[in-house]
Structures are given as structure tokens and as C-alpha cells.
Amino acid sequence: MSDRFKFDRMELAGSLGDLGALLPIAIAMVLFNGLSPVGLFLSIGLFYILSGSYFGMTVPVQPMKVIGAYAIATAMTAEQILASGFLMGVFLLIVGMTGTIDVIRKFTPKSVVRGVQLSTGALLISGGVKFIMGTSKYQALQAAVEPHLTIQALAGIPISVIIGIIGAIATLLLLDNRKFPAGLMVVIGGLFAGLAILFGNSIVQVFNLIPMSILGVLLIFAGAQLTLAMMDLDRRKDLFVATLILGITLASNLAAGFIAGMVVAHMLRWDKLSV
């Protein structure tokens, strides 16, 4: 077998590293937004396998991550998420085939893109904190901080040991997958597809064993990873636009923040406004 598709402990570790932001968002969307775990994990698994087999490298961009983060933060329904994903897929197909992505890239300032990422990350961090504190909408509706987890011991194993194992898994999920070869794509794809096929909808029962506080911490890290995207902004004008979008998003919604950011960014570009 060629080095491109070798499978060893490095590939396994690297495949876990790619779950840092993806898995917490996916679990939260299954538990709180009502997405089908079979459809979600099977489609993710097939995408990773096909992408890894064809391109031979990790996925450089995960556009649905922003949709997922915003869906969790705003408690979108499964139908709304599916519609968003479908429209995004059609949009990417059209701009990819027609080459209009270059026009969109020129018209949309980088500061606006970073502002959207910053805002989405902040919303995800806020949602994670609420899960830790037990004040999220989901926990309020269930009238419990931990609606599902009531285990104090498992087959004679103290709960502290179980929590330690969960913490170790969480640490593995935050590894940097860029340090490992590209074969991890097939590994992680097989993992997701296998979960969907073997467990089906019953995988929700496994997710229910994850404490809300642990899931909240993972969501905070996922949100923080999104906010770090603005680290490449170094001009005062760009930072102003990004923080403006953040403020409007937190006070209103992301659409309003995006529109305001686009207007202000172009006004700054045309010297109609100074900061």
C-alpha cells in the first residue's frame, strides 16, 4: 500500500484531531436541533472517504461549520438547517462551475468574512457557557442541568474514572490534525460511516451519556477556533469592521451584522468614512 493511504497509529491520532470542532457541533445539532444522526454521520463519513481518496489531503475548508455553529446558537429547526445546507450546496456548485467565486471574493472584503467568523464563534462560545451553567434553552425545557446523565457508577467503575476517560477523549479531539498525513481522511470517514451503519438512530443514546458541561467546553473550544480566524487582520479599518459585525450580531442577528459590515467596509474602502 502506498504512503498516501497507509494506516497506522499516526493516521488514527490525526483522524481524531480533525474532530475538534466538527464532532461537538455535530453532536449538538443531533441532540438540540433534531437532525437525524444516521443521515448526518453517514453523509459526513462518505464525504471524508471520497475527499481523502481523491484529493489525498485534509479538508482545508469546512463551510458547513459556520452554519452548524449558528444553528446551535440560534436554536434552528432541523428543517431550517437542511434548507440552509441545500441552498449552500447549490450556491457552491453554481459559483464553482461559473467561476463567479472570484467576483464574490473581490466584492466581499476579508474583514467582513472574518467578522462573520468572529461573530459565529462568539455565539458558539456563548452557547457553550450556557450549557456549562445549565441555562441553555434545551436544559430549561428539560428542567434539568443534566437531562440524561444520571449515572453515578458503571459496572462498579466510579464516576470519576468515567469522567477521566471522557476528558481524555476531549483532549484527543483538540489535537492538530495538520501534523499528520492525509490518510486520516479515510480513517475518520470510515469511523463516521461505521457509527451510522452500526448504531443507527440509537447512537443518540450514546450521545446522551456526554455531560452537558463537557459538551459545552468542546463547543467553547470550537467557537474559539472560529474566532482565531481574524488573527490575520492587522489594519485598523479591518478590525473596526469585524468588531462592528460582532456587536450588531450579538445585539440583533448575523444577517444584520453582515449587511452593516458590507456597507461600512465599502465606505471605508471608498474613503467615505474614516476610523
Residue whose C-alpha is closest to residue 27's, from 62, 72, 59: 72
- Distance between CA 125 and CA 216 in Å, rounded? 8
Which pLDDT belongs to residue 1?
47
Which pLDDT belongs to residue 161?
55
Which pLDDT belongs to residue 67?
77
**Mean pLDDT in the chain?**
78
Q: Please, which pLDDT band fits residue 159 given cuts at 50, 70 and 90?
A: low
Which pLDDT belongs to residue 16?
58
Question: Strands 153-154 and 157-158, how do they pair?
Answer: antiparallel
Contact 64, 40 (CB under 8 A): no
Which pLDDT belongs to residue 274?
83
Lookup: cell for 188: 475518520
Q: How far is CA 168 from CA 73, 126, 165, 174, 253, in A?
A: 26, 24, 5, 10, 36
The answer on pLDDT for 62 being more than 60 is: no
The alpha carbon of residue 22 and the mean position of all alpha carbons in its chain are separated, in whole angstroms, by: 5
Q: What is the mean pLDDT of residues 97-109?
A: 87
Q: What would the pLDDT profile of 174-220 be if each residue is shown by its tens digit?
A: 444 444 445 566 777 787 888 888 888 888 777 777 788 888 888 88
